[in-house]
Amino acid sequence: MARVIIFGVQDFAALAEFYLRHDSAHEVVAFSVSREHLPDGQEFRGYPVIPFEEIEHNCLPTEYSFFAPMSPRRMNRVRQGVYDQIKAKGYPLITYISSKATTWPDTDVGENCFILEDNTIQPFTRIGNNVMVWSGNHIGHHSVIEDHVMLTSHVVVSGHCRIGAFAYLGVNSTVRDGLHVAEGTLVAMAAAIERDTEPWGVYQGNPAIKRKASSRDLKL
């Protein structure tokens, strides 16, 4: 059991508090954001909101953990920046895996992951750090999800796939078995990936076609 500070005061933070309260042994004690984003009254969902700039003066890293399950803005790079800042302050980060997800004892999941209900994560998979896996996805056997990735909902990642860092897989998208989805790839809603992708590419359609735009330029 850890006493947890959640980073953020928007929807993902509210959902994190709900899931941790109802489906974990962790105790949420506060939220934290940068001073410029403090809400009125410095309170959110009945908890205090502490400026991140001074968080270590109020809550020692040896006594508290952090959770930062933020949205995938700018291809997950905003969340990565916050994750790095929390690590630099010396805080451990928890991971939440829903009790209603299907996992196996050998599943290797990193820190600051948010894995919601109805996910099927088959044996011999590995999930990196700072990964968001929304509801109802399938991650096939022997697949690897690298750091800072977002899987939305009803995504199918077939067996022996590698999903590169910063990738974003949209609702109802599919990745054929044995493929490499390169770093920063954006797979659009309902797209079907039938061959390896190129870094920071945007793929749409069934079968998916690479667009001229770079995912580096998207704000999501």
pLDDT along the chain (220 residues), means of 10: 96 98 98 96 97 96 97 97 98 98 94 98 98 98 98 98 98 98 98 98 97 88
The predicted model scores a pTM of 0.96
3-88: in CATH 3.40.50.720: yes
Contact 184, 165 (CB under 8 A): yes
96-205 shares the fold of 3-88 = no
Strand order in the sheet with 192-193: 120-121, 138-139, 156-157, 174-175, 192-193
The fourth-level CATH superfamily of domain 96-205 is: Hexapeptide repeat proteins (2.160.10.10)
In which region does residue 132 sit, left (phi positive, over 0), alpha (psi from -120 to 50) or beta (all else)?
Answer: beta
CA-CA distance, 220 to 74, in Å (whole number)? 6
| pLDDT for residue 106 | 85
- The confidence score (pLDDT) of residue 63 equals 97
pLDDT of residue 218: 85
CA atoms of 18 and 187, how far apart (whole Å): 29
The predicted pLDDT at position 170 comes to 98
For the chain, domain boundaries: 3-88, 96-205
